[in-house]
A and B are shown apart, each in its own frame.
Chain A
Amino acid sequence: QEFQFGPCQVDGIVLQKLWQAFWAMKDIVQAQDNITSVRLLRKEVLQNVSETESCHLLHALLRFYVNTVFKNYHDKAVEFGILKSFSTLANNFFVIVSKLQASQEKMFSTRESARRRFLLFYRAFKQLDREAAVTKAFGEMDILLRWMEKFNQL
């Protein structure tokens, strides 16, 4: 499929494969998240995002997922036997980050507002115990996938 995040275009991502990977591990992953009163990817982070903001915001979020969330969840993925699903999501997020990287660097207009949104997510992440935060963020990937779906150019 082809995604258009404002001026940033991402193709070669089959979102259905990402969904299948997430569904395959959803129950086991979300069962580990005991803090049900907190949501990292809450409305203020993802709602009413302008087209141009979306490129910056997605780049910041996915880079955080690749560099921090996946990295710190990896041992659990081995433990739970969900390496295949983990690999599918990690490698596809890796592709998206690299495709967004170039184009989002050339845009300055909405970078600050996108950064404020990311910081809402990041501060909520930092307020939790490290392992709990990584588990919660990993379990919230469906929120991220659903948000990305809206930018799919059918």
Chain B
Amino acid sequence: DGVAVLPAPQNLSMQSTNMKHVLTWSPVIVPEEIIRYSVEYQGEYESLYTSHIWIPSSWCSPTQRPECDITEDITATVSYSLRVRATLGSLTSAWSTLKHRFNQNSTILTPPGMEITMDGFHLLIKLEDLGPHFEFFVFYWRREPGAKEHVKVVRPGVLPVYLETVEPGAAYCVKARTFVKAIGRHSAFSRTECVKVQGEALPL
């Protein structure tokens, strides 16, 4: 192969958004050769009690792409060590270890996408499916002075959600945010969306 020593992958980095965790690194380039990578991890328990043992990641032992979705391997809210090495035939590089341990409680939580719809006089909301970790707190109110704000907790997978029976001529507003129990954190609120109900306002 003309390669005496295979360089170790560089620039390891973690991108974690909405509890989806992806490890990336700079590809190892050997002209006209296919490089494969293997990713391994250790939780806090392993680091403390069995530090010689590393666990192969579910999807990237091996992989040809310079990235690895380790979401399924992160199954506790502890800090994890991650490492990668390159392989070319019988040649293997040294391991490169992620500089800072990763904990899922550092994931970036984005405001949820949502769509407000009407079904007759029923106000409905459809929420972005972010996976089993996510609950949604939906706040809704009638747009008038002194209106009371209501909140509804939506569990994963329940779509669309009935919010309220509305009155003709009135306007209603909705905003939502996510909550992840595994890490005890909320996202920021989505933009507030308002809808005007068709028809004449009912006489008082």
Contacts and interface: CB of A to CB of B under 8 A. Distances in A.
Name the prevailing secondary structure of the B interface residues: loop
A88 B53 contact: no
A91 B23 CA distance: 20
A91 B182 contact: no
Contacts of A13: 77, 182
A78 interface: yes
Name the prevailing secondary structure of the A interface residues: helix
Contact of A90 (B43, B58, B133): B43
B76 interface: yes
Contacts of B184: 11-12
B78 A88 contact: no
Contacts of B46: 87, 90-91
Contact of B43 (A71, A78, A87): A87
A1 B48 CA distance: 26
Contacts of B164: none
Contacts of B78: 91, 94-95
A74 interface: yes
20 contacts: A11-B181, A11-B184, A12-B183, A12-B184, A13-B182, A21-B75, A70-B49, A71-B49, A74-B49, A87-B43, A87-B45, A88-B75, A90-B46, A91-B43, A91-B44, A91-B46, A92-B75, A93-B45, A94-B76, A95-B78
Interface of A: 1-2, 11-14, 17, 21, 66, 70-71, 74, 78, 83-84, 87-88, 90-95
